[in-house]
Amino acid sequence: MKKIKVQNLSVLWQIWSRKSFVTSSTLRTFSTSLIHPGNSILMSPSLVSLDCPDLWTSGSVQSDQSSLQKYSSKHAAQILDGKAIAEEIRSGIALEVKRMKESIGQVPGLAVILVGQQRDSLTYVRNKKIGSEEVGITFLMTMLPDNCTENEVCNALQSYNENPSVHGIILQLPLPQHLDEGKILGLLTLEKDVDGFHPVNIGNLAMLGREPLFIPCTPQGCIELLIRSGIDIKGKKAVVVGRSNIVGLPTSLLLQLLECPIWCARIG
């Protein structure tokens, strides 16, 4: 089975698809290139365009073990290969970044703050760096030791907040336990929160009729993969494993907005 890579690229197309990070009126001419139908790199629908019912009908959410077994016996699992989809998205972003540079002499800038040496975080950040460089996005990174102070993290974050060449900031999570994750995320400039973890972005994701500036990358990457694979999400029954703020919770919120009843399963 090939590894699904769409979620690793999602931060890149989110930076470019959200033009709120630019103040120049010239850049607004690009705002339709990714988010309007017919001229779009992404296929995921705008959240404010969704007509979500206030109440679920009883038949849409009720199920039992026998029905699940009957369903599984008639339907073979489908392997979703995200590699080709990721390449298609990457190519579209590269063309848009090139067009942006030729038109106004600017390219998007992504900054990452990494605290500690966790292997999975190092791998994830390395993939972001490679992806950014492949499509022409400027990549900056600040690495801090495990025992750094909260002030050191806040200072690094504030520096990127004030840097006009940085349009997106990622605070790589999780942080060491002695750091107040909520406090630090609250300092992140909303318009640069490309991971979508700022309380305002998460709050807007949870509210009908609202749309966050950014949606957490892995959840939206999963939705994009399903849509591009020709899977009709509406009315399906989904199980979300885990309830983390990074993946489980925002995935559940997105699926519910797309009228997909969900069950959440705890890990451990």
71 part of a folded domain: no
In a domain, 226, yes or no: yes
Domain span at residue 180 reads 6-51+80-231
Q: Which one from 5, 7, 14, 128 is the annotated catalytic residue?
A: 128
Q: Which residues contact 47 (CB under 8 A, 6 or more apart)?
A: 205, 210, 211, 212, 215, 257
Reduce the DSSP state of residue 178 to 3 states and report it: coil
Across the strands, what pairs with 262? 238
Q: Examine the residue annotation and report whether 172 is marked as an active-site residue of this protein.
A: yes
In a domain, 201, yes or no: yes
Marked catalytic residue, from 172, 192, 193, 220: 172
Q: How many domains does the chain have?
A: 1
Whether cis (ω within 30° of 0) applies to the bond prior to 219 is no
The answer to whether position 209 is within a domain reads: yes
As a whole number of angstroms, the distance between CA 201 and CA 236 comes to 26
Q: Is residue 1 part of a domain?
A: no
Strand partners, 120: none
Residue type, position 212, single letter: P
| H or E stretch covering 111 | strand 109-115
Q: Which residues, at least 6 apart from 63, have a Cβ–Cβ distance to it below 8 Å?
A: 237
- pLDDT score of 2: 43
Looking at residue 185, which CATH number applies to its domain?
Answer: 3.40.50.10860
Low-confidence ranges of the chain (pLDDT < 50): 1-4, 7, 13, 19-39, 55-63, 68
Q: Which pLDDT value is given to residue 109? A: 97
Which amino acid appears at position 115 of this protein?
A: V
pLDDT, residue 12, reads 56
What pLDDT does residue 267 have?
74
Count of alpha carbons within 13 angstroms of residue 99, beta-carbon side: 14
**Taking Cα atoms as reference points, which of 159, 167, 162 lies closest to residue 106?**
167
Choose among 257, 264, 242: nearest CA to 46.
257
pLDDT of residue 65: 53
The reply to whether 238 falls in a domain is no
* Nearest alpha carbon to residue 252 among 265, 266, 262: 262
What pLDDT is stored for residue 25 in this prediction?
36
Q: Which residue in the list 7, 19, 195, 220 is annotated as catalytic?
A: 195
pLDDT at position 166 is 97
Tell me, yes or no, whether 256 lies in a domain: no
- Cβ neighbours for 50, distance < 8 A, ≥ 6 positions apart: 257, 258, 259
Is 39 domain-assigned?
yes
- Joined together, the tokens standing for residue 78 give 């489908």
